Each structure stands twice: as structure tokens, then as C-alpha cells.
Amino acid sequence: MRYLTFALGKGRLARTTLELFEKIGITCEEMKDKDSRKLIFVNEDLKLRFFLAKGPDVPTYVEYGAADIGIVGRDTIMEEGRKLYEVMDLGFGKCRMCVCGPQSAAELLKHNQLIRVATKYPNIARDYFHNKKHQTVEIIKLNGSIELAPIVGLSEVIVDIVETGSTLKENGLKVLEEVCPLSARMVVNQVSMKMENERITKLIRDLREVIM
Ligand code: PRP
């Protein structure tokens, strides 16, 4: 039996995934060692391999088949636009992709004005404004602390993730429009889905039982 390889988005996503996997009898003891600098972890008995990657790289590993399965946020899947199968909503990491800004920017959205949109997700933002709203906007790519942009006058609005809403609140910003709901998803390489169908289908079935 060959190894089934999982790419997990680093951080909370990976930790929650491993907790979920433990519930269906999939463990990886060596991955729990926080001081370890190892990048890849093996469960010999189950013939499974796990590695941690930066979230946006997970769909890349899965498309090329370097990982059979990936666990990553729906935001990253949408932004990266890779060829893969999205097979399952894992039900955790729930949040929303939103257009946010000061209340005063709500008018600009209503009247299809040419506005600047700062975001870590240029593809999602472009798709939303150009294809869904038919509004011409200038997209400005940032890498973090997106909420700063409308405060310091870089953009009129932002497209960003809202979880509890406290970052917005503490900075005097509001959700102006919702783009889509988000959560952690399982993605599968298109060839692996055929070649390892039995093992992957069983994994999905087992996970469904503990998630439902
Ligand atoms: C994310 C997101 C928001 C915040 C939302 O940022 O970009 O800034 O969390 O969470 P909240 O609604 O619970 O306040 P993250 O902390 O990942 O860091 P970043 O600013 O580097 O993107």
C-alpha cells in the first residue's frame, strides 16, 4: 500500500484537523512535538504522511499531486483557483468574506462609483466586483492588517475575512456587504481521487460521522 499524503495549512487549521482526525482513529504522535523542526510526519501503521505548508501553498501541492489531500480554508481555495476536487466542508473555521469599510462608504457601493478596494484576496475581490456586481474598481493587494487601508486613506473599502467582527469594531469599520461564507475544506487531487478512491471515500465517510 502506498502512502496517502496530506498537506495541512499551518497553525490553528492543522491543529483542529488533527483533533478531528483523532476522533476517527487517525493519529500522528510525532506531529504533536511543538519544538520539532521536522516538516513531514509519518504514521507507518496506517501508511499516512502529513506535512505542514503555508495555507496558499496547500492547493498547489494538491493540484500537482505532491499531496493527495489538502485541508485549507475556502478563501484560499477560491483565491488560488487550482484544479482539484473540493470534497468536504469540515465545519470548523467558520467565518465570512466581506466588503467592509466606514459607514460612509456604503453610498459608494450603491452608486457603482469607481472605488479602491484593498485586500489580501485580489482574485476573490475582482470576481465579486467585476462579475457579480459589475462595478469597476481598483484592486490594491496587501499582505495583512487590511483594516488599516480605509483608515489611512489607501482605499475606500476592503475585502477581508470577518470572524468575530472585533477587529472591525475596534477600528470603526463595518460589514457593508457579504461576499460568501467560509470554513475549512478538504480538497483532493484529481488523479488520487480515482487511484485511491476506496481509501479516500472511507476517510470522507468516517469524517462525516463525527462532524454531523
Ligand atoms: C484576520 C482578518 C481580520 C481578522 C478578523 O486577520 O484578516 O483582520 O482576522 O477576525 P475578527 O473578525 O475575529 O476580528 P489575521 O489575524 O489572520 O491577520 P492579518 O491581518 O495578517 O491578515
Pocket, ligand 1, Cβ cutoff 6 A = 120, 144-147, 160-167
Q: Which amino acid is at 153?
A: G
The beta strand positions in 44-197, using DSSP E, are: 48-53, 69-73, 85-89, 95-101, 115-119, 137-141, 157-162, 174-182, 184-188
For residue 166, the SS3 value is helix
Domains and CATH numbers, the chain: 4-93+183-211 (3.40.190.10), 95-180 (3.40.190.10)
Ligand 1, from 142, 163, 171: best to mutate by most atoms within 8 Å of Cβ?
163
Ligand 1 centroid to residue 46 C-alpha, Å = 36
Q: Residue 142 pLDDT > 90, yes or no? A: yes
Binned at pLDDT 50, 70 and 90, residue 212 comes out as confident
Q: Which residue has the higher pLDDT, 111 or 47?
A: 47
Q: What is the pLDDT of residue 209?
A: 95
Average pLDDT on 121-147 reads: 97
Ligand 1 centroid to residue 24 C-alpha, Å = 31
Adjacency order of strands within the sheet including 184-188: 40-43, 48-53, 4-9, 69-73, 184-188, 85-89
Ligand 1 centroid to residue 109 C-alpha, Å = 23
- 186 near 67, Cβ under 8 Å? no
